[in-house]
Chain A
């Protein structure tokens, strides 16, 4: 993060993010996290094309481990567990990523505006964020989904909505000290617009904490969306969805564990992966482990 006084926005934006990521990748935890995420994202993207059966295709008697042509057996509904697994990652990754991105965009914008303007706007925005934060994330999602019904757009909206205040508070917290710096005053003295100052001067100087928080939020979003699937709020009945798979097959856990274990492990590895990336970024931003590339 640059602390030099500068009036050259191009300079500040050019150096911050690539340096951070490059530094973070020197840590083993970040590399492992990236490897896990790449692996599971790869499964989610490529899986449907290599799956031997369709996600809802009947293969054999339900809940059997030994079924010809289905090497991990059948699930609660006579479908191939392996094929369902390969099909089941897209929805959770898509929903979690889009929700986090939306939450990130609006949360960062609110945090930066609040930090830059301070005063009444800051108070109003942050109190509003506090109100949103007061709602338990999962409970709010359950109420909305029960009322409207499980829709993709609603899951994205709820997760994004509850992500916004968390991002906003972190952004504001990181941006307030930056606003006090001289280079912001210099930009104002040069007559730059508020929008330009916020986006070109302020934002690049809080990228580190924002990336850490965004990764952390992505981890939570995956957990929440998987949890909603487990609770039966999948967008489509019998949809191939890792969270839903855990719920559907848990009754037969002792008979046919793959239907539950495989998606549960995938969700766990995905969240661990994003969590490790967050941790690596956070350590890099904070300067922890600096000089210990093997940490």
Chain B
């Protein structure tokens, strides 16, 4: 999850620092593409159409859907009760309406704060769980955000344009370092309040994917003068369904119902309790000390499933792990070697070995939840004979190489080890070398010819900006190769407002990566959580965050009395 927040980090900041220190702010920018049908307002054919279509679509999709969902859940749910949520955390836990470091921070942030927009079940932009009423894209570099009317913060102040502007300025505040890269697209002069709940945003350069950024769970609205938790829970003001009552980092936080919440919620109180490791977390769930356990180890999923008092909530997510080959250094500067490596992988075996079956096979492509994902590309399968021939043609039939993995990321050492095993069939000797996380993500990160990495899901263009451009923050594969027009295509796509045309450009980019790229993406991982049978309201569906997006800030969750 950590790198979900790296979008705005400058290239000079190491991934490790990023993982441990970057803020929410994947926010906005650079990329994404998923402004499709039910997605709000990105114009399909130009500014004029956009204004009309956008406003109408956003209004309808957002407001109507929200109302319907809330009614449905309200009819089914029972009011009252305290939900005890367990999550692995530490004394480094923090609370900030726009910034997280670890999963425990995620679970807490969504209780108190809400983003401007959100994704629906099809990964399109929606507003049913967010604060904007509509977002109108007047041009690729000009957006108008209109907030829902009458939404109140925890302190009863009505959310207004000044709060929206403050929230954006806080994201790009260099002193806070929440989303430093966002300043490439926004500065203090980018915002103009049109009325008390409408703000016009002028980007410093075009990005059709601005909407995707605003749908990130960290693109939250905080009140003017908001500051990070520093011991006083009354300062933690947001719009979420629950407001903070107490917080002790490394121990627990208690959140009570926001009585004037604009939506519907059921619980009286949510307790988020820290555990030092996942084993202790699962033990607490099985012994009934907590009602919900966030992020169950794959190895223990069976223990939850076989317990009649517990329910395993498994969601298909777009998180992916990859073996990265640097396309600019030997032996991987020869495309035949890269192609051979991709044919060595037995993907189904990888899912069974590394994920205990809790995932689905990949096809060396990312952005699986994006509407532009090339589902029709032929599924790549293990083909040892062809791999051997390619290696022979490249003069690498006796290749010996080290494949690096960090010890702080579950799955990556196993991925590397399994690949090394499978590579034996092709007659090459791959040695899986596991380094401690500090070393792995340090100065040598992105410099190793053959390594492993992991990413959360994001739209295709967004991901390209992160890892597949010469200017990428994390150029793990050093894609594109010299002489490629991949970057030109990216620049065309990011400025193309017509979705059909943009998808056509994206497909060309995807084809290049599919044929010649440096990623070996064998699988996508599922999100797995466990809960007591009495906990209701969480749905298994594709999601960005655990436990059905933490029950959308826990507001969808109720307890069977």
Contact = CB atoms under 8 A, between A and B. Distances in A.
Interface of A: 56, 58, 60-64, 76-78, 237-238, 251-252, 254-256
A142 B554 CA distance: 45
Interface stretch (B101-109, B296-304, B480-488, B510-518): B296-304
Contacts of B417: 77, 237-238
Contacts of A252: 299-300, 302
B300 A78 contact: no
Interface stretch (B211-219, B351-359, B463-471): B351-359
Contact of B352 (A56, A78, A237): A78
B353 to A, nearest CB: 4
19 contacts: A56-B421, A58-B352, A60-B352, A61-B352, A61-B356, A61-B357, A62-B298, A62-B353, A62-B356, A62-B357, A63-B298, A63-B302, A77-B418, A237-B434, A251-B300, A254-B282, A255-B300, A255-B301, A255-B303
Nearest to A76: B299
B333 interface: no
A77 B353 contact: yes
Contacts of B418: 58, 77
B45 interface: no
B37 interface: no
Nearest to B432: A237
B300 A58 contact: no
Interface string B257-283: 000000000000000000000110010
Interface in B301-360: 301-303, 306, 349, 352-354, 356-357
Contacts of B414: 77
> Which secondary structure characterizes the binding site on chain A?
loop
A62 B349 contact: no
B279 A63 contact: no
A63 B356 contact: yes
B478 to A, nearest CB: 27
Interface in B393-439: 413-414, 417-418, 421, 432, 434
A252 B414 CA distance: 15
Contacts of B352: 58, 60-62, 78
A237 B299 contact: no
A76 B282 CA distance: 17
Contacts of A58: 349, 352-353, 418, 421
A284 to B, nearest CB: 45
Given A58-B418, A62-B354, A63-B356, 18 more contacts: A58-B353, A58-B421, A61-B352, A61-B356, A62-B352, A62-B353, A62-B357, A76-B299, A77-B417, A77-B418, A78-B352, A238-B421, A251-B278, A251-B279, A251-B297, A252-B302, A254-B303, A255-B306
Contacts of B349: 58, 78
Interface of B: 278-279, 282, 286, 297-303, 306, 349, 352-354, 356-357, 413-414, 417-418, 421, 432, 434
A255 B353 contact: no
Nearest to B418: A77
A253 to B, nearest CB: 9
Contacts of A77: 353, 414, 417-418
B353 A78 contact: yes
Nearest to B282: A254
A256 B300 CA distance: 9
A64 B299 CA distance: 9
B453 to A, nearest CB: 18
Contacts of A64: 302
A64 B353 CA distance: 11
A61 B351 CA distance: 8
A238 B431 CA distance: 12
A255 B299 contact: yes
Given A56-B421, A77-B414, A251 B299 contact: yes
Contacts of B286: 254
Shortest beta-carbon contacts, A-B, top 7: A252-B299, A255-B302, A78-B353, A62-B356, A61-B352, A254-B303, A251-B299
Contacts of B356: 61-63
Nearest to A255: B302
Nearest to B416: A237
Contacts of B302: 63-64, 252, 255-256
B452 to A, nearest CB: 13
A238 B422 CA distance: 14
Contacts of B298: 62-63
A62 B352 CA distance: 6
Contacts of A251: 278-279, 297, 299-300
Contacts of A62: 298-299, 352-354, 356-357
A203 B418 CA distance: 52
Nearest to A251: B299
Nearest to B410: A251
A60 to B, nearest CB: 7
Nearest to B431: A237
Contact of B300 (A56, A61, A237, A254): A254
A56 B421 CA distance: 8
A252 B410 CA distance: 14
A64 B357 CA distance: 11
A58 B418 CA distance: 9
Contacts of B354: 62
Contacts of A56: 421
Contacts of B279: 251
A63 B356 CA distance: 7
Contacts of B434: 237
A252 B278 CA distance: 11
Nearest to B421: A56
Contacts of A76: 299
Most buried by A among B279, B421, B432: B421
Contacts of B301: 255
A35 to B, nearest CB: 35
A76 to B, nearest CB: 6
Contacts of B421: 56, 58, 238
A189 to B, nearest CB: 63
Contacts of B413: 237
Nearest to A78: B353
B356 to A, nearest CB: 4
A77 B354 CA distance: 6
Contacts of B353: 58, 62, 77-78
